[in-house]
Structure 1
Amino acid sequence: MFPLKTDTPLTQDQVVTVTRLMLHVAHVDGDKTAEELELIRAFYEGCVEAGNGWQTFDSLDGKRGSPDVAASDFADQGQREMALAICLMVAWADGAFSAREDESVRGIADKLGVGGERFAQVLALVKDHMLAQLAGLPDVGSIVAVAKELG
């Protein structure tokens, strides 16, 4: 299960905003990787309602730069923390969390009003979620190595 969720569904505008935030994180340390793009596309296409005027994923991917975002763009704290968690997952999707990704995600967190201790808690939840996805693998040594990499 995803580490954070909200009972308030995202609107179409919120899905687009979160997708653009994810794409921004994927681009900050160079071009996005296949793993990052797959995660972002899965999120967006999982939210798309066919025939309801949704933009294509490729049209969103073509827009560069950090999208404007504010805490007021989301109805509740749960939505803001979920958006942050998804951005953190994108940052880790290629197996590394670069200094530029960290700076970018912290900037997003500040704009969303998720700072300080709560940011650290959300980051820890994302790391735990990622490790839980590996728990069923038979190669314990690899799991330990990933755990050390995640910190």
Structure 2
Amino acid sequence: MNSSTEPKIETALLRLDNQLCFPLYAASRMLTKAYQPFLLALNLTYPQYLVFMLLWEHEQLTVKELGEKLMLDSGTLTPLLKRMEQKLWVSRRRDPADERSVIIGLMPAGRALQAQACRVPAQILDKLAMSPTEISALRTQLTHLLAQLT
């Protein structure tokens, strides 16, 4: 088939700067990178920080609940939780009501990190240089997008 008979491809659709996925991907990477120095001071990775935010709010959750809230599968979450358990930040135990379910709970060392971690959101807000209204609107849009994709 020669070029005159090939179907015309809409090239504008394939331009990187016309994509929604790329700025979201790049912003996610850059925002996670912005957290790194603050979390490094706490000896935390970003995924560990996310787990802690949920546990500081709920005290204990099942692995399934953590996975649902963080949109992570158990294959990703289990090794992360095992490392957190080795550091004595969390405990893992079978749910007596359902032996298939594993409950993750805060230990004193994990609870103690909360006081230090309270500074992280303000440090990130300083880096973003966005108004609280802008941040709230962006979070609302992203939450809506996530809901559409799940």
The bucket for the TM-score relative to the shorter chain is 0.3 to 0.5
Q: Compare relative contact order (CA 8 Å, sep 6+) and give the higher one, 1 or 2.
A: 1
TM-score (norm 2): 0.38
Larger radius of gyration: 2
TM-score (norm 1): 0.38
- Structure with bigger strand share is 2
